[in-house]
Structure 1
Amino acid sequence: MSASLHREPESQGFDDASWLLIGLCLLFLIAFQLAAPFAFAANGFGGSAAMIGLLWTTDRFYTRYRVRPAFAALVTSVMLIILFSIVGGILSYLVAAQGGALWDARLQRWDLALGFDWLGYARWVNEHPTLATLYRWAYVSMIPQLLVMVLALTATSRLREMRIAICAAILAGLAAVLLSGLTPAVGNYIHLNLGPGDLPNLQGAMVATFAQYVDFSGVRDGSLRLIELMRLEGIIVFPSYHSALGAIFIWGFTQLGRAGWPGVWWAGLMLLATPIYGGHYLVDVLAGIALAAAALVAAGRLVRRPWLRQVAKAVGGRTPLPATLPT
Structure 2
Amino acid sequence: MTSIPLSRGVSLAGFFRRTEWIFIGLIASVVIANLIVGYTNPQNVDWGSFALGAMGAVGLAILGGYYRVAYAHVAWLGKAAVTIAIAAIMGVMLGILFHLHMPRPEPVLTDALLAMDRWFGYDWPAAVAWVAEIPFLGTFLRWVYLSSFFQIIGLIVVLAYLKKNRELDAMTFTNGLSLMLVFVVWQAFPNLSQSTYLPIPYQTAEDAWLVTHSTYGAMLLDMAKNGLPIVSMDAMMGAVAFPSYHMVMCALTVVFARGTFLFWPYLITNIIMLPAILIHGAHHIADLFGGVAVMLMAMIPAYLIVNACYRRDARAA
TM range (shorter): 0.7 to 0.9
Q: Assess if the C-alpha contact under 8 Å between 2:58 and 2:85 holds in 1.
A: no
Distance 1:149 1:180, change over 3 A: same
**Structure 1 portions without partners, runs of 5+:** 1-11, 311-319
1:192 counterpart (195, 198, 204)? 198
Q: Assess if the C-alpha contact under 8 Å between 2:196 and 2:220 holds in 1.
A: no
Partner of 1:78: 84
Alpha-carbon offset, residue 63 of structure 1: 4.9
TM-score, reference length from structure 1: 0.80
Q: Secondary structure at the match of 2:66?
A: helix
1:302 counterpart (300, 305, 313)? 305
1:220 counterpart (199, 220, 225)? 225
Alpha-carbon offset, residue 242 of structure 1: 0.4
Alpha-carbon offset, residue 27 of structure 1: 3.7
Q: Secondary structure at the match of 1:44?
A: helix
Q: Assess if the C-alpha contact under 8 Å between 1:125 and 1:132 holds in 2.
A: yes
Deviations 1:230-281 (A, max 9, x none): 442111111110011110011122231x543112222332232101101111
Partner of 1:281: 284
1:264 partnered with 2:270: no
Q: Secondary structure at the match of 1:186?
A: coil
Partner of 1:132: 138
Partner of 1:177: 183
> What do you get for the CA RMSD once the two structures are aligned?
2.9
Q: Assess if the C-alpha contact under 8 Å between 2:57 and 2:86 holds in 1.
A: no
- Quick one: distance in 2 between partners of 1:37 and 1:205? 30
State the AA in 2 paired with 1:93: H
TM-score, reference length from structure 2: 0.82
State the AA in 2 paired with 1:255: G
Q: Secondary structure at the match of 1:22?
A: helix
Q: Assess if the C-alpha contact under 8 Å between 1:184 and 1:237 holds in 2.
A: no
Q: Secondary structure at the match of 1:129?
A: coil
Alpha-carbon offset, residue 13 of structure 1: 8.2
Deviations 1:75-95 (A, max 9, x none): 220111221121011111123
State the AA in 2 paired with 1:59: G
Stretch of structure 1 that moved more, 240-249 or 85-94: 85-94
Partner of 1:9: none
Distance 1:33 1:43, change over 3 A: closer
Deviations 1:72-120 (A, max 9, x none): 3212201112211210111111234353435323311122234433344
Distance 1:90 1:231, change over 3 A: same
Question: In percent, how many aligned pairs have the same letter?
Answer: 19
Equivalent pairs counted in the alignment come to: 298
1:32 partnered with 2:40: no
Distance 1:184 1:195, change over 3 A: farther
State the AA in 2 paired with 1:302: I
Distance 1:200 1:72, change over 3 A: closer
Note the 1:24-173 alignment, pairs <5 A.
24-67=29-72, 69-173=75-179
Stretch of structure 1 that moved more, 259-268 or 146-155: 259-268
- Quick one: distance in 1 between partners of 2:218 and 2:28? 29
Alpha-carbon offset, residue 138 of structure 1: 0.7
Partner of 1:255: 259
**Structure 2 portions without partners, runs of 5+:** 1-16
Stretch of structure 1 that moved more, 153-162 or 51-60: 51-60
Q: Which has the higher contact order (CA 8 A, sep 6+)?
A: 1
Distance 1:96 1:175, change over 3 A: farther
Q: Assess if the C-alpha contact under 8 Å between 1:13 and 1:305 holds in 2.
A: no
Alpha-carbon offset, residue 186 of structure 1: 3.1
Alpha-carbon offset, residue 157 of structure 1: 1.4
Q: Secondary structure at the match of 1:294?
A: helix
Distance 1:289 1:148, change over 3 A: same
State the AA in 1 paired with 2:177: L
1:23 partnered with 2:61: no
Distance 1:244 1:206, change over 3 A: closer
- Quick one: distance in 2 between partners of 1:101 and 1:260? 37
Alpha-carbon offset, residue 122 of structure 1: 2.7
Q: Assess if the C-alpha contact under 8 Å between 1:189 and 1:279 holds in 2.
A: yes
Q: Assess if the C-alpha contact under 8 Å between 2:137 and 2:208 holds in 1.
A: no
